[in-house]
Structure 1
Amino acid sequence: MLVVDDEEDILEIARLSLERLAGWSVVTASSGPDALQMARTESVEAVLLDVMMPGTDGPATVALLKADEATRHIPIVLLTAKAQSSDRQELNKLDIAGILQKPFDPVSLAGEVATVLGWDDG
């Protein structure tokens, strides 16, 4: 799992949650370009991606990942604080597996990600 967020504390909480509670292998990135590089070089089964980041934001990062032959198959789950339905409708137009809300519950994060991705267990 690749977790992408520009806020270091959120990266750390998500990483610890997914590693310790779900036993997943997690790598992190703090920007869209870093996410693309990590997705190309690491064995990543999915991406948990923040929507609002400086520079290359979540939607732009989705476009980068989907345009690259090496990464286009990786499912992406967006993580957003945007709660308005109009924002969510725009995000749902992207080629993503789903959207999770920020702030998230670290205890239930892995289960929510697994559900969105259609994985049997989290």
Structure 2
Amino acid sequence: MKQLPERVLYVEDDADIRSVAELALADVGGFCVCLCASGQEALAQIDDFGPDLVLLDVMMPGMDGPQTLQALKQRPRGLDVPVVFMTARLQPSEIEEYRALGAIGVIPKPFDPMTLADDIRALLASVSTG
């Protein structure tokens, strides 16, 4: 059985959303969380943090979520952990686009802080059971 993630790298440009997500993931969900305000910050932090999962906002200034995912994959080490996008853009074509980029799923925004960790675990379980 695949081990559930313990370390989540969360990339979100909105400080208020980062704060709520930190509470949802760390306090409610029991994850160890590394918060990044941008794709560039995620690239700088990922090797030191060593996440089990990357949670990416789609709409960010500079590098958006899909561009950040591409940059993470193009690192010398690549990216060998699951990625989940968080977004309010939930048209079926958009969700298919995120999956085509390699995401295991999408969590709608606004998210429920009380269920965010469970939503992540459910996505991972659905992928690992195939």
Instruction: Go from structure 1 to structure 2 and tell me whether the alpha carbon gap of 1:77 and 1:19 turns closer, same or farther (over 3 Å shift).
Output: same
| 2:74 alignment partner in structure 1 | 67
Q: What is the alpha-carbon root mean square deviation over aligned residues?
A: 1.6
Instruction: Note if 1:24 corresponds to 2:31.
Output: yes
- Once structures 1 and 2 are overlaid, which stretch shifts more, 2-11 or 86-95? 86-95
Q: Secondary structure at the match of 1:118?
A: helix
| 2:106 alignment partner in structure 1 | 99
User: For the residues of structure 2 that align with 1:70 and 1:100, how far apart are their CA atoms?
Assistant: 26
Aligned-partner residue type, residue 80 of structure 2 = H
Q: Secondary structure at the match of 1:27?
A: strand
- For residues 63-108 of structure 1, the C-alpha deviation after alignment (integer angstroms, 9 at most, x for no partner) is 0111113351021110011022222221221112211110100000
Structure 2 runs not aligned, ≥5 long: 1-7
Compute the TM-score of the two structures, normalised by the length of structure 2: 0.86
User: For the residues of structure 2 that align with 1:117 and 1:37, how far apart are their CA atoms?
Assistant: 25
8 Å Cα contact 1:65/1:71 also seen in 2: yes
| 2:3 alignment partner in structure 1 | none
Instruction: Please list, as runs of the form range in 1=range in 2, the aligned pairs for 1:3-82 lying within 5 A after superposition.
Output: 3-82=10-89
Compute the TM-score of the two structures, normalised by the length of structure 1: 0.91
User: How many angstroms does 1:43 deviate by?
Assistant: 2.3
Structure 1 runs not aligned, ≥5 long: none
Instruction: Note if 1:112 corresponds to 2:125.
Output: no
- Once structures 1 and 2 are overlaid, which stretch shifts more, 5-14 or 87-96? 87-96
| 2:5 alignment partner in structure 1 | none
8 Å Cα contact 1:47/1:75 also seen in 2: yes
Q: Report how many residues are paired.
A: 120
